[in-house]
Amino acid sequence: MIRAIYPGSFDPVTFGHIDVIKRASRLAAQTVGELIVGVLNNGSKTPLFTIDERVSMLLEVTEGLSNVKVMSFSGLLVDFARQTNANVVVRGLRAISDFEYELQMAQTNRKMNPQVDTMFLATGLEYSYLSSTIVKEVAFFHGDIHEFVPESVAKRVQEKVLEVTRT
Ligand code: PNS
């Protein structure tokens, strides 16, 4: 049985992430398995959204995907995998520029926990340019982000931009 984790910062979740979640949940479902979206709580990056806000957005966008759970984690991904009995890590690959870092992470994780394998899903062509960083950049300059994230997420990003620029 596949019990997979799709880890990330999701700051915020984009259509590209949602595409990977849907496809990975379909793959997991074929083996009566589960997909855990693991939201990182201790990155080196300073996120725009709090961990609770990121989890809440993911819960909204994964509503209806019955084999998908959303959980936050801190510390090492391999420890989170052990705690949740996960045997697969799923990551999306957008372009060759993602590959080196992703390969390094996959191999480090496998060295630390040989029970866990990383599975890469090629991002849908229509989302290959998309990243959370780009979404935030466009939003901070008051550009339209509806092509990049669901309506509920766009609303939260716009509110957050107003909140941050006011202070
Ligand atoms: O969405 P991101 O920021 O590209 O996701 C990166 C993430 C969360 C997958 C990665 O930073 C991670 O797994 N962090 C947890 C700490 C860890 O296990 N580091 C060692 C991996 S080499």
**pLDDT tens column, 107-150:** 999 999 999 999 999 999 999 999 999 999 999 999 999 999 99
* Residue 94 annotated among the catalytic residues of the structure: yes
**CA-closest residue to ligand 1 atom 17:** 76
* Residue 72 annotated among the catalytic residues of the structure: no
Structure token pair of residue 157: 């990003």
Q: Are 49 and 160 in contact (CB under 8 A)?
A: yes
Give residue 32's pLDDT band: very low, low, confident or very high (50, 70, 90).
confident
Q: Is 40 in the pocket of ligand 1 (CB under 6 A)?
A: yes
Residue whose structure tokens are 């819960």: 59
Among 10, 105, 136, name the best residue to mutate to test ligand 1's pocket (greatest count of ligand atoms within 8 A of Cβ). 105
Structure token pair of residue 62: 């994964």
* Residue 45 annotated among the catalytic residues of the structure: yes
Ligand 1 centroid–CA 87 distance in Å is: 16
> Who's near 140: CB < 8 A, 6+ residues apart?
161, 165
Q: Are 145 and 138 in contact (CB under 8 A)?
A: yes
Ligand 1 centroid–CA 166 distance in Å is: 31
Give residue 45's pLDDT band: very low, low, confident or very high (50, 70, 90).
confident
Query: 119 to each of 25, 49, 103, 116, 149, how far by Cα in Å?
Result: 13, 27, 11, 10, 24
Torsion over CA: 97, 160, 7, 111 (sign): positive
DSSP 2: -
Closest CA to 91 of 1, 5, 3, 152: 5
Q: How far apart are CA 42 and CA 13, in angstroms?
A: 17
* pTM, entire model: 0.95
Structure token pair of residue 147: 């092509």
Catalytic residue among 54, 91, 94, 156: 94
Among 9, 21, 112, name the best residue to mutate to test ligand 1's pocket (greatest count of ligand atoms within 8 A of Cβ). 9
* Residue 136 annotated among the catalytic residues of the structure: no
Q: Which amino acid is at 7?
A: P
Give residue 31's pLDDT band: very low, low, confident or very high (50, 70, 90).
confident
